Amino acid sequence: MIMRRSLVVGNWKMNGNLASAELLAKGIIAGLGSNNAEIAVCVPYVYIPSISEVVKGSGLALGSQNVADKASGAFTGEISAAMLSEFNCKYAIVGHSERRSYYGDTNESVAARFCQAQEQGIIPILCVGETLEQREQDQTFDVINTQLDAVINLAGINAFNNAVIAYEPVWAIGTGKTASDEQAQEVHRYIRQYIAAKDQTVADKIQILYGGSAKPDNAKGLFAMPDIDGGLIGGASLDAESFLKIYHSI
């Protein structure tokens, strides 16, 4: 039986200010207790230097919410993986649906971001997931295949040895409509099998997180599913108490 370590990641999105960000990180650290699961927060770029200081020596890891698809150069407004690694970012979210739908991130650019992160030793958290329309048209698995294939084709299946996948159904993000435990498990199992068809060892090892209106009252059921290894938490990660409750329900 393969034991995967569970992981809970907070995605703060574009919320808070410097003072509230520091307070939130300190509040989370204060409540970590003894829990074998991993925990991280993905914070706005400008707060990375200060939160990097706050989390030093604690069990809370740091991540970014995106990373450039290029290594360096004339790319105004972008932040490179090398810059993030200067501040001990362990993770970088790539391909979040908000990036895909509002800022034009494509499967190809997401794959390039994924590779850039790994080149600097940063673990990419690759977000995949279908819209409501795609689910209703029975396209969920096709959408996920395409999103995964873009990365597999560029990086190779072994790249998933150092990556995390987050299944985030777009219809569940920020809507209060969580996927049911079974709905989420069905897609998580599908993702693991899709990877297993290419490499069983990679599939057994990879952490697949659920994201989309995960809250203290529904986290336990989701995390109990065999292919759900933790969560990528938006709204509920902005409050230390509710984020910790989710973490401790692993």
Beta carbons within 10 angstroms of residue 224's beta carbon: 12
Q: Which residues, listed in sequence order, are joined to residue 63 by a DSSP beta bridge?
A: 42, 91
CA–CA distances in Å: residue 91 to residues 1, 61, 156, 165: 27, 8, 19, 12
Q: 187 or 232, CB closer to ligand 13P?
A: 232
Q: Tell me the site size for ligand 13P, rule CB under 6 A.
A: 14
What is the end-to-end Cα distance of the chain in Å, rounded? 18
Q: Is 182 among the catalytic positions?
A: no
Task: Please report whether residue 234 would count as binding ligand 13P according to CB under 6 A.
Answer: yes
Q: 151 or 172, CB closer to ligand 13P?
A: 172
Coil, helix or strand for 8? Answer: strand
Helix (H) or strand (E) holding 39: strand 38-42
Task: Please report whether residue 249 would count as binding ligand 13P according to CB under 6 A.
Answer: no
Task: Please report whether residue 216 would count as binding ligand 13P according to CB under 6 A.
Answer: no
Token duo for residue 180? 């049911």
CB of 156 to ligand 13P, least distance (A): 26
Q: With b meaning 16 or more CB within 10 Å and e meaning fewer, what string describes 129-151?
A: bbbeebbeeeebeebbbebbebb
| CA 21, chain centre distance (Å) | 19
Q: Which region, judged by CB under 6 A, interacts with ligand 13P, from 76-84, 102-110, 129-137, 207-215?
A: 207-215
Indicate which residue of 38, 98, 130, 168 is catalytic.
168
Q: Is 168 among the catalytic positions?
A: yes
Among 124, 169, 211, 230, binds ligand 13P (CB under 6 A): 211
CB of 175 to ligand 13P, least distance (A): 7
Task: Please report whether residue 214 would count as binding ligand 13P according to CB under 6 A.
Answer: yes
Q: Which region, judged by CB under 6 A, interacts with ligand 13P, from 140-148, 153-161, 180-188, 212-220?
A: 212-220
Residue type, 131: T
Which residues from 168-197 bind ligand 13P, rule CB under 6 A?
168, 173-174
What is the widest separation between alpha-carbon atoms in the chain?
48
Token duo for residue 172? 């569940």
Among 212, 216, 223, 249, binds ligand 13P (CB under 6 A): 212
Indicate which residue of 38, 96, 98, 130 is catalytic.
96
Q: 131 or 199, CB closer to ligand 13P?
A: 131
Which residues from 73-102 bind ligand 13P, rule CB under 6 A?
96
Non-local (6+) Cβ contacts of 7 within 8 A are 37, 38, 39, 40, 164, 207, 209, 229, 230
Q: 160 or 243, CB closer to ligand 13P?
A: 243
**Residue 164 and residue 209 in contact, taking contact as beta carbons nearer than 8 Å:** yes
The footprint of ligand 13P (CB under 6 A) covers 11, 96, 168, 173-174, 211-214, 232-236
- Residues annotated as catalytic are 96, 168
